[in-house]
Amino acid sequence: MCGIIGYVGQATSSRPLEVARQALARLQYRGYDSAGIVVANQEGLSFVKRAGKLSALEEALAESPLPAASAAIGHTRWATHGGPTDQNAHPHLSQDGSVAVVHNGILENHQALRDELVEAGVEFQSQTDTEVAAHLLARAYQELGDLPDAMRATARRLEGAFTLLAVAQDNPHLVVGARRTSPLVVGLGEGENFLGSDVAAFVACTDQALELGQDQVVTITPDAVAVTDFGGNAIEPRRFTIDWDASAAVKGGFETFMDKEIHDQPDAVRDTLLGRMTPSGQMQLDELRVDEALLRSVDKIVVIACGTAAYAGHVAKYAIEHWCRIPVEVELAHEFRYRDPVVTAKTLVVAISQSGETMDTIMAIRHAREQGAKVVAVVNTMGSTIARESDAALYTHAGPEVAVASTKAFLAQITATYLLGLYLGQLRGTMFPDEIRAILSELEKMPDRIRQVIEGEDVIRQLAVQMKDATSVLFLGRHVGYPVAMEGALKLKELAYIHAEGFAAGELKHGPIALIDEGQPVFVVVPSPRGRDILHDKVLSNIQEVRARGARTLVVAEEGDNAVREFAEQIFWVPQAPTLLAPLVAVVPLQIFACALASAKGLDVDQPRNLAKSVTVE
Ligand code: AGP
CATH superfamily of 457-600: Glucose-6-phosphate isomerase like protein; domain 1 (3.40.50.10490)
- 3-state per-residue secondary structure call for 49-94: EEECCHHHHHHHHHHCCCCCEEEEEEEEECCCCCCCCCCCCCCEEC
Which residue, 426, 389, 160, is CA-closest to 274? 160
What number is the average pLDDT over the span 178-200?
94
What number is the average pLDDT over the span 247-252?
80
Distance CA 400, CA 423 (A): 26
Q: Is the predicted pLDDT of residue 533 greater than 90, yes or no? A: no
- This prediction has a pTM of 0.85
Q: How far is the CA of 573 from the centre of ligand 1 (A)?
A: 27
pLDDT band of 287, cuts 50, 70, 90: confident
Distance CA 586, CA 525 (A): 7
Task: Please determine, looking at this structure, whether the domain spanning 3-246 carries the CATH number 3.60.20.10.
Answer: yes
CA distances from 564 to 75, 464, 520 (A): 50, 21, 18
Q: Report the pLDDT value the prediction gives residue 281, as an integer from 0 to 100.
A: 75
What number is the average pLDDT over the span 236-254?
85
Q: Is the predicted pLDDT of residue 617 greater than 80, yes or no? A: no
pLDDT band of 566, cuts 50, 70, 90: very high
- Percent of the chain residues past pLDDT 90, beyond the cut: 86
Q: Which amino acid is at 429?
A: G
**Sign of the dihedral defined by the CA atoms of residues 577, 580, 582, 588, in that order:** negative
Q: Report the pLDDT value the prediction gives residue 288, as an integer from 0 to 100.
A: 81
Q: How far is the CA of 360 from the centre of ligand 1 (A)?
A: 11
Rounded (5°) CA angle 565-570-571: 65
Number of H helices, E strands in the chain: 19, 24
* 439 Rama sector, left if φ>0, alpha if ψ -120 to 50, beta otherwise: alpha
Q: Is the predicted pLDDT of residue 24 greater than 80, yes or no? A: yes
Which residue, 422, 557, 423, is CA-closest to 484? 557
CA distances from 154 to 121, 139, 202, 224, 230 (A): 18, 9, 26, 23, 9
Q: Is the predicted pLDDT of residue 148 greater than 90, yes or no? A: yes
- Looking at the chain, which residues constitute the CATH 3.40.50.10490 domain(s)? 251-448, 457-600
Average pLDDT in the chain: 94
Q: How far is the CA of 478 from the centre of ligand 1 (A)?
A: 23
Q: Is the predicted pLDDT of residue 198 greater than 80, yes or no? A: yes
Query: Which residues are the active-site residues?
Result: 2, 613
Beta carbons of 252 and 260 less than 8 angstroms apart: yes
The set of residues, in sequence order, having a beta carbon less than 8 Å from that of 90 and lying 6+ positions away, is 2, 34, 36, 49, 75, 77, 101, 102, 103, 128, 130
Binding site membership of 354 for ligand 1 (Cβ less than 6 Å): yes
pLDDT band of 82, cuts 50, 70, 90: confident
What number is the average pLDDT over the span 560-580?
95
Q: Is the predicted pLDDT of residue 109 greater than 80, yes or no? A: yes
180-184, 374-378, 449-453, 519-523, range with the lowest pLDDT: 180-184
Q: Is the predicted pLDDT of residue 161 greater than 90, yes or no? A: no
Query: Which atom of ligand 1 has the smallest separation from the CA of 308?
Result: 8
Q: Residue with the nearest Cα to atom 9 of ligand 1? A: 307
Q: Which amino acid is at 480?
A: V
Among 611, 615, 617, say which to mutate for ligand 1: greatest number of ligand atoms within 8 Å of CB: 615
What number is the average pLDDT over the span 564-593?
97
Among 380, 406, 417, 591, say which to mutate for ligand 1: greatest number of ligand atoms within 8 Å of CB: 406
Beta carbons of 36 and 47 less than 8 angstroms apart: yes
What number is the average pLDDT over the span 221-244?
95
Q: Is the peptide bond before 65 cis (omega within 30 degrees of 0)?
A: no
Q: Report the pLDDT value the prediction gives residue 64, as an integer from 0 to 100.
A: 94
Binding site membership of 384 for ligand 1 (Cβ less than 6 Å): no
Task: Please determine, looking at this structure, whether the domain spanning 251-448 carries the CATH number 3.40.50.2300.
Answer: no
Query: Which atom of ligand 1 has the smallest separation from the CA of 358?
Result: 16
Q: Report the pLDDT value the prediction gives residue 554, as an integer from 0 to 100.
A: 98
Query: Which atom of ligand 1 has the smallest separation from the CA of 361?
Result: 16
Among 265, 303, 308, say which to mutate for ligand 1: greatest number of ligand atoms within 8 Å of CB: 308
318-322, 383-387, 588-592, range with the lowest pLDDT: 383-387
Binding site membership of 309 for ligand 1 (Cβ less than 6 Å): yes
pLDDT band of 189, cuts 50, 70, 90: very high
Q: How far is the CA of 529 from the centre of ligand 1 (A)?
A: 32
Q: Which amino acid is at 217?
A: V
Binding site membership of 591 for ligand 1 (Cβ less than 6 Å): no
154-163, 436-445, 490-499, 524-533, range with the lowest pLDDT: 524-533
209-223, 311-325, 373-387, 407-421, range with the lowest pLDDT: 373-387
Binding site membership of 494 for ligand 1 (Cβ less than 6 Å): yes
What number is the average pLDDT over the span 205-227?
96
pLDDT band of 500, cuts 50, 70, 90: very high
